[in-house]
Amino acid sequence: MDDIVRYFLNVEIAYATLPDLLRGFGVTVRMAVLAVILGIFGGLVIATLRAYRIPVLDQLLVVFMDFFRAVPSLVVLVMVYFGTPYIGLLLSGETATILGLALVLSAYAAEIFWTGIKTVPLGQWEAGLSTGLRFTEVLAIIVMPRAVRMGIPVLTNRTIAVAKGTAYGAIISAEEILSVSLSAQQTYANPTPLVLGALLYLLVFIPLVQASRWIERTYSIRH
Amino acid sequence: MSETQPLIQLRGVHKSFGLVQVLHGIDLEVHKGEAVVLIGSSGSGKSTVLRCMNLLEVPSSGSVLFSGIDLVANGSRLREVRGKLGMVFQSFNLYPHMTALGNVALALRRVKKLPRAEARRVATEALASVGLADKVSSYPAQLSGGQKQRVGIARAIALQPEAVLFDEPTSALDPELVGEVLDVMMRLREGGMTMVIVTHELSFARQIADRVVMMDSGRIVEQGPAEQIFENPTQDRTRQFMRNRGK
């Protein structure tokens, strides 16, 4: 029992590593928030563009959506981090993580919103257009609010899944919780920092899960 | 009356959906102040004819004119024309996330560009005129079928259109709710509104119509005053249709 405490719940080491871990916590939260905001916004833009059925662009958007949903998130992050220098962009691990996760989430969000748009009955479009509303007005005022609400349960689930991908940032030198707790563990040859790291992850994601449940309850469409 | 330009005109309209030809050379005129009722079996093309009038269906060939404006050739004027042509749908098509007032006021604000307070006032009046003054804050899900359709009618007439198109307005209603909608339509007619109605309600058609158009298999079989079509049809197909419906 004493060994368990010394190895996994070592108060001295916890105290010593806490400042770094809290910094890592801040990085994880920052990356998650930015990736989620950019990803959902990106998904909205893509789905809206698809509604206009612009030739060539539409096909390109489909390729984008399929690619970033098919490739594993970790691979996307690695591609972004190691690939962007070749086009003259030097991104930090943190920025590359945010960008990569935003690309992945925007692909999923676009698919979710697009499905929502297609599910709105044609009659809604016809009613709006028959009163003289523009296509864009019908899309923005009548169709998108429904499409977004319809997508909320799936979208919140997918958002949590992608946000957890911030941990992959450890591979591309983002100094988030996992990478900080791994270094601390190596420095002190003691797994207490990892335990602390796990607790910090719970601190990030349990509120996120509860927030998503609240959003689903309040905003999603009950059938 | 034949010298004045018709309000709505279909000339040589053909319509195919893929390989299926649904309309074969339709020529139809609707004059201002007329109530024209389209009757015929399901699949006769009557709804398609109606939907060509505001270009919800685009003809495969032929022309659709509103006050002399060719709608297919003048795409830029389509929105303007649609603001003058109201439509009421079989499945109501109310916007579910807006109240009855919101449904009626939307086009008033965005198409007629009325300021918010003015739009609310006009929308409230329109809802009152169909007997729903007490339902302005209700959402469609809280309304009965008959009430929903009356909101649909209010939405169409609030824009003060030159004509209203009705696509089987009572076909989706429980029988006991049909009467309230037909009453509203009759009052609209008495106010002089130009109306084009597709309906299966033959006794109502007889009451409201100036002219009845009998359709079958994508063609106009015959048309004429309501009395004549119902009492003395000249075509066998019309006679058969009336007989099948116990008229």
Tens of pLDDT, residue by residue over A150-179, are: 999 999 999 999 999 999 999 998 999 999
CB contact under 8 A, A133 and B156: no
Give the integer Cα–Cα distance in Å for A107 and A115. Answer: 12
B4 pLDDT tier (thresholds 50, 70, 90): confident
pLDDT at res. B3: 58
Average pLDDT over chain A, rounded to an integer: 92
Nearest chain B alpha carbon to A128: B107
Q: Are B77 and B71 in contact (CB under 8 A)?
A: yes
pLDDT tens for B14-52 read 999 999 999 999 999 999 999 999 999 988 999 999 999
- Counting one residue from A and one from B, how many pairs have CB atoms under 8 Å apart? 58
Domain that holds residue A121: 2-219
Residue with tokens 């207490």: A192
CATH classification at residue A92: 1.10.3720.10
Q: What's B57's DSSP letter?
A: S
Q: Give the orientation angle of helix B116-129 with respect to helix B100-110, to 10 degrees.
A: 130
Nearest chain B CA: its distance from A138 CA (Å): 10
Entry pTM: 0.87
The answer to whether the beta carbons of residues A180 and A197 sit under 8 Å apart is yes
Q: Which of A124, A130, A145 sits opposite B87 (nearest CB)?
A: A130
**Is the pLDDT at A125 greater than 80, yes or no?**
yes
Query: Which of B79, B86, B93 lies closest to A123 in CB terms?
Result: B93
Q: Is B8 on the interface with A (CB under 8 A)?
A: no
Judged by CB atoms closer than 8 Å, whether chains meet at A133 and B97 is answered as no
**Contact assessment for residue A24 and residue A197, using Cβ atoms and an 8 Å cutoff:** yes
Q: Spell out the domain ranges in chain B.
A: 97-150
Give the ipTM of the model, two decimals please. Answer: 0.91
How confident is the model over B205-210, as a mean pLDDT?
A: 92
CB contact under 8 A, B111 and A127: no
Residue with tokens 């015959």: B222
Smallest CA–CA distance, residue A52 to chain B, in Å, is: 17
Q: Is B31 helix (H, G, I), strand (E, B) or coil?
A: coil
pLDDT of residue A58: 96
**The two three-digit tokens of residue A206, written as one number:** 């349990």
In angstroms, the separation between the Cα of residue A124 and the nearest Cα of chain B is: 5
Number of domains in chain A: 1
CA A102, A107, A112, A115 dihedral sign is positive
Q: Which residues pair with B194 in a beta bridge?
A: B163
Q: How far is A77 from A100, CA to CA, in rounded Å?
A: 5
State the average pLDDT over residues A44-67: 96
Q: Are A103 and A68 in contact (CB under 8 A)?
A: yes
Percent of chain B that is helix, strand, coil (3-state, to 5)? 40, 25, 35
Grade residue B146 by pLDDT with cuts at 50, 70 and 90. very high
Rounded average pLDDT over A47-52: 95
Percent of chain B with pLDDT over 90: 86
Question: Which residue out of A119, A130, A152, A219 would a mutagenesis test of the B interface target, given it has the greatest number of B Cβ atoms within 10 Å?
Answer: A130
CA distances from A185 to A167, A204, B26 (A): 16, 21, 82
